[in-house]
Structure 1
């Protein structure tokens, strides 16, 4: 038994211990809350800086478009001046779209909604396409571009051709953007390893551009919104998201990226990616290639679109390809036009999603449910400004054959139709 003198002392020690533990826990909670406040402050600062940058970056090409339109209005008879303005409008529009795509891609990556495809493709065809796009980028510059394919034992692969193309084009675009007068860009593609199921490829983009400091490469290159030079946003344009998107995509595809750069001399990016070998090359991969373009001549296309400007543009594209168009200004009209057509008369339906009276998702479900032989088989292509992966999934579940995101160009639309008819 404890003596009467020991009991108050033990009680005091227990109380002191409890008080100390309480203060320690209180201190930890205080530090946690302070860290959360600091994190929230940094997040708000980053958001403010991002909005400021995007306001600048988006207004620049919009100003270009509006300015060129004003010049065209006052120089309509000067065809050379008009052609020059139209080319600059085209460049500004493409730049504006690339800004928006970068922001959407980063948002999808951060939310975990962007997943690589798992589809058959031909690497030889993809590299030919990338090479053609690269040559187009530097066609009007003094940059010398060379491409070398060292060795492909396997070209029929399964993976994400969309994201591989995006990675390579992004790296090449930077090599061109940050190059020097009379500079060079060399690209290499090589199969470096394989086993029974997987082939690993190495892609290298080497330039003689402005280069980067070691500190920037090690600490900032793959961070969002970063460009090394002060004022680079005005001179070189862009969100500064490209390299962070490239890194995220490569990691999602189980690959790696390494960088060698010397400030003032140039940079070399090396991407290593594994792909599954397609042991039974299917018609699906071939379907991405060229098709007989005369197949569109006389093709009847039901065009469901509620916006007059978008309707006019789509009609122009289709009729220029030799197709015939039938109009529907909402989903309900689209269902009625298809119901009243002869079986097999309509070869393709292009369906906007956000429309009055009845949206495109409900309309495609109604069409698929009709009791007629072509209701289940007619290709229905979503043609919409809804561009997220969940939008694509909703289209697929509703019964769409394919999902195209606006803005569309004629070539993309033509290839989608050819794939599906």
Structure 2
């Protein structure tokens, strides 16, 4: 209110000041324009204008002189010659007057005026000689004509040229005066319009000021009410967020604290302690995922997330996602089906880590909100993209879960939003997963769509453009051209996709939708002497499962036909039964072209023994590791985990001690260094640079250095790699990733 009152006072004053300034400026501009016009007019009046008039008169007289010179060519009488002489005398007086004026008044080019005056003196002499020649009876008409053409006319033409230049220049000066008059007049009128507009505006402002003051009070009241509502809404959102975070963080923390207490009271019961530790580990991972979600959302909102452009295998990426979500599906007794459509380009460039995060969010949510016994399907396909040089990779996640209301779908991708109902209140989550997924997909120039209905499940469709890498991979199967292959699977999408792959590999594919259909089909083909070269059987099917189907097929056709067991689950738990039933090899879903090719390639020659195409032989880890960590508890944990995998561990509590240890150790003493980043005395980045510099100075072979840090952001990874590190892993330590790194650098085949 006080500001509005002040505005009603200073606004008229400000307008008055502006009007006064405009009027003063208009007066100054008008005076200046008038003075400029007067000066230009005087200059033109005293110079260019009379010069242009004189030049025009000179032009007329010179043309007259040229015409007079031609008259004797027609009549050479004394009377005509006397008339010419008199005309020359009259023109001479006028010309000399005009030329003399131009020589003094043409200031812009006085040299041209002097040349014109001097040139006329020569012309006057020539004209006198010309008259004398005309009076001389001994001079022929031809000689007179030659004199005119050779002397008189060229002299006149030269003078006319100089005079034309003076005339043009003078005329241009006069025209400039017209331009200045026009411009200054327009300027004066323009400022007059501005002044009148200012007056009009000031009057309008003055007339409406009282009305606006009254309306301002009403608007201020409305603004205050709106601000109060926004503040209350923000406070409620903050309270809701704190409430959600308090609940979601305290839930796993309560489990960790409680289970730790229970384990301490049952120290002599290994099974009970093991069960507690498993649940503590699960709660810890859940707590870590909550923290990661909050940090990721903060990074997204501040615009600090940068996408990586790395080369990766699309099948391996999908396998990694499935490996993570499968335990969740099995824990709830859910059917997790994965189908692959047309995937031609299996090696691509993109941010696999962020894609992994987005896809896991979608599949995990589907599993989380699908009741026990339900099903979740992940469908993959590839198609053309509007983005040059890319292909669109499409992920469709369908579930038979709780579904969502239309009202909630509208705010599904807002941070901290969750569907509140009796069925969802016990499901943990921060409400950040979908917001993070949407932002990540948008950053990748992709799209995400959702269809859902309460009680009928949901369908999420995520499309991401990726740049494929064209690699000439050899998909030939020597000796298997047009071989017959039988696929036994009850999933129509899997059947269609696999038959398409078999066709691309040059094989003839048949299909059976169950084991009960497959057994008589194989038996009939065997009796007719048209045995199938390969048989691929799904593990989980209605009626009889894949193992029983294989057992019955073996009883019909014997052991000569390779049979591959296809499964979306961990096949190790059924390996013994499957081998006993007659399985030749295992292959995991989803079934990509490259994967099926590798499996079938083992059977390219009938005499070759069938090989297990699923997993590499186990590796033995041995070597010496330098573990650099300043936190004693973390040091103990990491040392124990590394020793359990098989490596010898030496310790350093800061970066400087690590640099000294590397400098004092003989070459090849350490096989691998795990380096923390944030440490006292010297951090991991500085220590790595120092170690690399030492190695260059003495010519040592670089020792692999892998970051082991709680700094989990992409820029942290880039700084570590730029400093000379070979790898990067985050805390808490993932034992599976730790084993992979140790196997990569410290593996010796058994």
Decide: shared fold, TM above 0.5.
yes
Pick from 256, 267, 272: which aligns with 1:65?
Answer: 256
Query: SS of 1:100's equivalent?
Result: helix
CA separation of 1:353 and 1:41: change in aligned 2, threshold 3 A: farther
Aligned pairs for 1:297-376 (under 5 A) are 297=622, 299-370=623-694, 371-374=697-700
Partners of 2:210 and 2:347 lie apart in 1 by 67
How much has 1:173 moved relative to structure 2? 0.8
Question: Cα 1:234–1:351, aligned 2, differ >3 Å: closer, same or farther?
Answer: farther
Mapped pair 1:210 → 2:422: no
Please give the alpha-carbon distance, in whole angstroms, between the structure 2 residues aligned to 1:292 and 1:342. Answer: 32
In the alignment, is the contact (CA less than 8 A) between 1:120 and 1:281 conserved in 2? no
Secondary structure at 2:238 match in 1: helix
Listed as ranges, the matches of 1:111-122 within 5 Å are 111-122=302-313
Deviation (angstroms), 1:84: 2.3
Q: Distance in 1 between matches of 2:224 and 2:621?
A: 64
CA shift in 2, pair 1:251/1:154, >3 Å: same
Q: Tell me how far 1:80 sits from its aligned partner.
A: 3.3
CA distance in 1, matches of 2:383, 2:211: 59
| Pair 1:388 & 2:578 matched | no
* Larger strand fraction of residues: 1
Q: 2:203 aligns with which of 13, 16, 37?
A: 13
Displacement after TM superposition at 1:111 (Å): 1.2
RCO comparison, higher one (Cα < 8 Å, 6+) = 1
The 8 Å contact of residues 302 and 326 in structure 1, kept in 2 or not, is answered as yes
Unaligned 5+ segments in structure 2 are 1-198, 474-614
Deviation by residue 1:210-236 (Cα, 9 ceiling, x = unmatched): 11011111x211111111124677511
Match of 1:408 among 699, 718, 733: 733
After superposition, the C-alpha distances for 1:159-217 in whole angstroms (9 at most, x for unaligned) are 11111111111111111111112111111101122698321111111111111011111
Between the aligned partners of 1:25 and 1:346, the Cα distance in structure 2 is 80
Deviation at 1:335, TM superposition (A): 0.7
Match of 1:4 in 2: none
Q: Show the counterpart of 1:287.
A: none
* CA separation of 1:20 and 1:82: change in aligned 2, threshold 3 A: same
1:200 maps to 392
Q: 1:408 deviation in Å?
A: 1.2
Q: Which has the larger radius of gyration?
A: 2
- Cα RMSD of the aligned pairs, angstroms, is 3.2
- More displaced 10-residue stretch of structure 1: 155-164 or 136-145: 136-145
TM-score w.r.t. length of structure 2: 0.50
Q: Distance in 2 between matches of 1:169 and 1:60?
A: 22
- Determine the C-alpha separation between the residues in 2 that align with 1:80 and 1:159: 45
Structure 2 CA distance, aligned partners of 1:48 and 1:340?
A: 57
Structure 2 vs 1, CA of residues 231 and 408 (structure 1 numbering), >3 Å: closer, same or farther?
A: farther
In the TM superposition, what is the alpha-carbon distance from 1:113 to its structure 2 partner?
1.4
Number of residue pairs matched by the alignment: 404
Deviation of 1:20 after TM superposition, in Å, equals 6.8
Moved more, 353-362 or 143-152: 353-362
1:243 and 2:568 aligned: no
**What is the SS of the residue equivalent to 2:698?**
coil
Give the TM-score normalised by structure 1.
0.86
1:215-294 correspondence runs (5 A): 215-217=407-409, 219-230=410-421, 234-279=425-470, 294=619
More moved, 13-22 vs 93-102: 13-22
- Deviation track 1:61-95 (CA, whole Å, cap 9, x = no partner) reads 01101111111122233333323222211211111
Q: Distance in 2 between matches of 1:185 and 1:44?
A: 38
| Ranges in structure 1 where 5+ consecutive residues have no aligned partner | 1-8, 283-289
- Structure 1 residue 14: deviation in Å? 6.2
Q: Does residue 150 of structure 1 match 2:475?
A: no
Partner SS for 2:339: strand
- Rounded Cα–Cα distance in structure 1 between residues aligned with 2:662 and 2:434: 46
